[in-house]
Amino acid sequence: MIERLRGTPARLEERVKILPAEILTRREGEHWSIQENVGHLYDLETLFSGRLDDFDRGVATLRAADLTNKKTYDAEHNEKHIDDILESFRRAREKTVKRIEVRAPEFFVRTALHPRLNKPMRVVDALYFQAEHDDYHLARISELIRLFGSSS
């Protein structure tokens, strides 16, 4: 799981770094653009890190996600340069990975209730959940690349 999380920034960069701004910022209807999907991953890194804090503190219930994604909508990622978003995400994810890769095996079996799923989740489950979320947005980005083309 750690390796999947570590690899997300490189996978994102490989997919989007060479795309022109017109493709990166183009929306399909009201759905997020490629660039907004990348920004969303960065925006949620604070939730992921916060949930690791929750596991550290031994809380009964993990902090809830904002299901409206207000942070992403307010961030106006399409007004930024993709390199800045990618670099911010890479730095944040590297910090998270460094934090978890030094943990003892016992840490990964700690549990807390996931607030939306209403089920107990171990740390390893939270890592899997995050990696799956990353992959969902990577797949969505690939879908948008196919839809809009890879060049203007």
Cross-strand partners of 113: 61, 120
> What is the mean pLDDT of the segment spanning 86-96?
98
- Mean pLDDT, residues 27-54: 97
* Res. 105 pLDDT band, cuts 50 70 90: very high
- 151 has pLDDT over 60: no
Whether the CB-CB separation of 32 and 72 falls below 8 Å is answered with yes
Mean pLDDT of the chain: 96
Q: Is the pLDDT of residue 112 over 70?
A: yes
Question: 146 pLDDT exceeds 60?
Answer: yes
d(CA 115, CA 64): 6
What's 111's DSSP letter? Answer: E
Closest CA to 36 of 92, 68, 77: 77
Tokens encoding 50? 């916060």
CB atoms near residue 46 (< 10 Å):
12
Q: What percent of the chain has pLDDT over 90?
A: 97
- The pLDDT, as a whole number, for residue 152 is 45
Residue found by looking up tokens 């590297």 in the block: 94
Q: Residue 150: its pLDDT value, please?
A: 62
What 8-state DSSP symbol labels residue 140?
H
- Please tell me the pTM assigned to this model: 0.94
For residue 88, the model assigns a pLDDT of 98
Using alpha carbons only, how large is the chain's radius of gyration in Å?
Answer: 16
d(Cα 77, Cα 49) in Å, to the nearest integer? 21
Domains identified in the chain and CATH numbers: 2-148 (1.20.120.450)
